[in-house]
A and B are shown apart, each in its own frame.
Chain A
Amino acid sequence: MTPDFTPVTTAPEGYRINPLSGAAARPARGLAGPLSAEISAALSASPRGEVSVRSADLNLPLLERNDILAERNRGYFLGRGLVALNLVSSPGAGKTTLLEHTLDEFGLKTRCAVLVGDLETDNDGRRLHRPHVPVAQITTGTVCHLDAGMIARAAESIDLDGVKVLFIENVGNLVCPASFDLGEQVRVVLLSTSEGEDKPLKYPPIFKSAHVVLLTKIDLAGALGFNRALAVENIRRIAPQARLIQLSARSGEGLPEWYDFLRSLAPTS
């Protein structure tokens, strides 16, 4: 028998109550608190089966758009038989200078390409320009990192035929690039002797994600009073997984070890 009153009321919170069935048809907010799952399960299991907030366990990795594009890049690079390295550091740690030397020496025998990111100017792209090296400059405007979409477009803009090693020089920044997978196989984090020995302790996420850490400008360590042993200790504590190479692009010290490492990534060349 149907009760004789208006069946639907609107609760102050905005959800609707239908006293006829007793079910909140569209509650504006769900159950909260530590026992919410148990409460909602109990409610769902009530004999009338009408109060019905249901729960679904999903455990679904949230692939953000960048991660999807990064995986596509990774497959693209793999399919072309090239290894992509993402070089990350603070501004001024020596990424471009290291790449200049790398292209002039290692790059003579192994075909390399470079994608380089900055907020403005194509200064780095012009510095890295070599007749034998395809280079694309990405100017990000106000964006503090490169993302996988920029890499996909930039990689399509250059001729990757025969390229074995693709260097991606990220925007100088030790924070945001840690969160943006570009589809690289190897992440290289640079720390220069003109920075503090404790940088790895201050910026753990980027160092945690490093496959290789390069301690750069070691020729300046003495003049700067930089404690190399302490820096190495800090790198080891934060990033024990990473291979550590100490070098100076200017003096050439340590570069052979860097080139050997690159050769180990691209053995067919």
Chain B
Amino acid sequence: MESTLAAVRREAVARNAAHVDRIVLRIGVLSGVEPEALRFAFEACAPGTIAAGAELAIESVPALAFCTTCGCEFAAGPGFICCCPGCGNLSGDLRSGRELELRCIEFTPATP
């Protein structure tokens, strides 16, 4: 979370922001990052920073796999088993689900 806030600060300062009001993160379901733990860390780390009091929005990114037989992308089933709905083949080719991204920030610009 500290490195997330560092990135937020860097991007916000580069845009002449006075304050960051909202942070949107994209977190893959297989990233190993637990959204609730992230929120807890944010509440602990944000005070005193440019993002103090900001809203933290977390978009969950589903696990998607690619089927080389059918050439299609499909959502992993229960238990993250990636069984192609078209042909039934199992795929180990994960195309999403491990993301850990700062999608966007909303901020109040500094008054000139």
Complex-state Cα separation, A32 to B79, whole angstroms: 32
* A63 interface hit (Cβ, 8 Å): yes
Q: Given A29-B55, A240-B90, answer yes or no on A53-B32 (Cβ-Cβ < 8 Å).
A: no
Q: How far is it, in angstroms, between the C-alpha of A30 and the C-alpha of B21 when the chains are bound?
A: 4
**Contact indicator per residue, chain A 152-196, by CB within 8 Å of chain B (1) or not (0):** 000000000000000000000000001100000000000000000
Asked if residues A179 and B33 are in contact (CB atoms below 8 Å), the reply is: yes
- Spell out A's residues near B (CB within 8 Å): 14, 24-32, 36-37, 40, 52-65, 178-179, 201, 204-205, 208, 236-242
Q: Are A60 and B102 in contact (CB under 8 A)?
A: yes
Interface size class, chain B = 35 or more
CB of A56 within 8 A of CB of B107, answer yes
Q: Is the CB–CB distance between B108 and A27 below 8 Å?
A: yes
| Interface residues in chain B, defined as those with a beta carbon under 8 Å from any beta carbon in chain A | 3-4, 7, 11, 15, 17-22, 25, 30-33, 53-55, 57, 79-83, 90-94, 99-109, 111
Identity of the chain A residue whose Cβ is nearest the Cβ of B23 in the assembled complex: A30
Do A60 and B101 touch across chains, with their CB atoms under 8 A apart? yes
CA distance A52 to B30 in the complex (A): 36
CB distance from A219 to the nearest CB of B (A): 28
Contact among A27, A37, A62, A179 with B32 in the assembled complex (CB-CB below 8 Å):
A179
Question: Which residue of A53, A179, A201 contacts B108 across the interface (Cβ within 8 Å)?
Answer: A53
Q: Could you tell me if B32 and A239 are in contact, using CB atoms closer than 8 angstroms? A: no
Measured CA separation A240–B76 after assembly (Å) = 13
Q: List 6 A-B contacts (CB under 8 A).
A: A53-B107, A55-B106, A58-B11, A60-B101, A65-B3, A242-B92
Residues of A within 8 A of B102 (CB): 58-60, 62
Contact A61 B32 (CB under 8 A): no
Instruction: Given contact pairs A37-B104, A59-B102, enumerate 4 new A-B contacts (beta carbons under 8 Å).
Output: A26-B108, A56-B104, A62-B3, A201-B79
Rounded to whole Å, the gap between the CB of A144 and the closest CB of chain B is 13
Given contacts A53-B107, A208-B80, contact A30 B7 (CB under 8 A): no
- Complex CA distance for A239 and B92, rounded to whole angstroms: 6
Please tell me if the beta carbons of A30 and B3 are within 8 angstroms of each other in the complex.
Answer: no
Chain B, residue nearest A61 (CB):
B101
Contact assessment for B108 and A24 in the assembled complex, using a CB-CB cutoff below 8 Å: yes
B3 proximity list for chain A (CB < 8 A):
62-65
How far, in whole Å, are A201 and B101 apart by their CA atoms in the complex? 27
How far does the Cβ of A102 sit from chain B's closest Cβ, in whole Å?
25
